[in-house]
Amino acid sequence: MNDFFVSLMLLGALSSSGSLPYWATAGQYGLMPESSGGLVLAQAGTRFDPSRTFQWRWRVSLGATSYADARDPASSPYHFLADELYVSARWKVLTLDLGHKRREMDFRANDPLLGSLSVTGGHIMDSGNARTMPGWQLTLDPVAVPWTGHHLWLYGAFGDYKTLDLRYVQGALVHRMQVGLRADVGSRLSLYAALDHFALWGGTHPDHAPMPVNLGNYLRVITGRPAGVSGEMTDQLNVIGDQRGGELVKAEWRGEGWKLVAQHDIPYDDGSGMGLQNFPDGVNTLWLGWDDKDRWVSDLVYEYHYTRFQSGPVNVEWFGGEDSPYAPGIRSTTGLDDYFNNGEYCSGWTHFGRTIGEPLFYPAGTHAGAWSPGVVTRGVENNRIRAHHVGISGKLFRAHPYRLVLTFSRNYGTYETPYAGASAWQRPWGSVRETPLHQFSAGFTGIFSRLFGIPGLSGIYGIFADSGEVLPSSVGGMLGLRYSLDAGR
Beta bridge partners of 153: 144, 182
Angle made by CA atoms 463, 388, 470, in degrees to the nearest 5: 65
Residue 411 maps to a domain: yes
Categorise residue 352: left if φ over 0, alpha if ψ from -120 to 50, beta otherwise. left
Q: Which residues are CB-contacts of 110 (< 8 A; sequence separation ≥ 6)?
A: 293, 298, 299, 393, 394, 395, 401, 402, 403
For the chain, the domain total comes to 1
Position 328 scores a pLDDT of 43
Round to whole Å and give the CA distance between 111 and 184: 28
The pLDDT profile of the chain, 489 residues, written as one tens digit per residue, is 568 999 999 999 999 987 999 999 999 999 999 899 999 999 999 999 988 999 999 999 999 998 877 666 666 788 899 999 999 999 999 999 999 999 999 999 999 999 999 999 999 999 999 999 999 999 999 999 999 999 999 999 999 999 999 999 999 999 999 999 999 999 999 999 999 999 999 999 888 777 788 898 888 888 866 555 445 545 444 567 899 999 999 999 999 999 999 999 999 987 666 777 888 999 999 999 999 999 999 999 999 999 999 988 987 654 444 444 444 444 455 788 999 999 889 999 999 999 999 999 999 999 998 888 878 999 999 999 999 999 999 999 999 999 999 999 999 999 999 999 999 988 888 899 999 999 999 999 999 998 988 999 999 999 999 999 999 999 999 999 999 998 765
Domain assignment present for 195: yes
Q: Return d(Cα 135, Cα 62) in angstroms, integer.
A: 17
Measured CA distances, 399 to 96, 113, 289, 294, 462 (Å): 37, 15, 17, 7, 17
Inter-residue contact 93 to 143 (CB < 8 Å): yes
Does residue 123 lie in a domain region?
A: yes
Counting beta carbons within 10 angstroms of the beta carbon of residue 30, is it exposed (0 to 12), middle (13 to 18) or buried (19 or more)? buried
The answer to the question of residue 354 being in a domain is yes
**Separation CA 426–CA 316 (nearest Å):** 8
Q: Which amino acid is at 15?
A: S
In a domain, 464, yes or no: no
Closest CA to 305 of 282, 274, 280: 282
The pLDDT value recorded for residue 374 is: 79
Q: What span, in angstroms and rounded, lies between the C-alpha atoms of 387 and 391?
A: 13
Longest dimension (CA), the chain: 77
For the entire predicted model, the pTM comes to 0.93
* CA–CA separation, 209 and 235 (whole Å): 13
Give Cα 292 to chain centroid, integer Å: 28
SS3 for the chain, per residue?
A: CCCEEEEEEEEEEEECCCCCCHHHHCCCCCCCCCCCEEEEEEEEEECCCCCCCEEEEEEEEEEEEEECCCCCCCCCCEEEEEEEEEEEEEECCEEEEEEECCCCCCCECCCHHHCECCCCCCCCCCCCCCCCCCEEEEEEEEEECCCCCCCEEEEEEEEEEECCCCCCCECCEEEEEEEEEEEEECCCEEEEEEEEEEEEECCECCCCCCCCCCHHHHHHHHHCCCCCCCCCHHHHHCCCCEEEEEEEEEEEEECCCEEEEEEEEEEECCHHHHCCCCCCCEEEEEEEEECCCCCCCCEEEEEEEECCCCCCCCCHHHCCCCCCCCCCCCCCCCCCCCCCCCCCCCCCCEECCEECCCCCCCECCCCCCCCCCCCCCCCECCCCEEEEEEEEEEEECCCEEEEEEEEEEEECECCCCECEECCCCCCCCCCCCEECEEEEEEEEEEEECCHHHCCCEEEEEEEEEEEECCCCCEEEEEEEEEEEEECCC
**Structural domain includes residue 426:** yes
Neighbours of 40 (CB within 10 A): 16
> Structural domain of residue 148, as residue ranges?
88-202+241-451
Q: Decide if 438 is inside a domain.
A: yes
d(CA 245, CA 123): 10
> Which among 123, 247, 136 is positioned nearest to 193, based on CA atoms?
247
CA contacts within 13 A on the Cβ side of 229:
0
Q: Are 359 and 129 in contact (CB under 8 A)?
A: yes
The verdict on residue 343 lying in a domain is yes
Backbone angles phi, psi at 188, to 5 degrees: -110, -30
Q: How big is the chain by its Cα radius of gyration, in Å?
A: 23
CA distance 353 to 165: 8
Nearest to 370 by CA among 11, 32, 34: 34
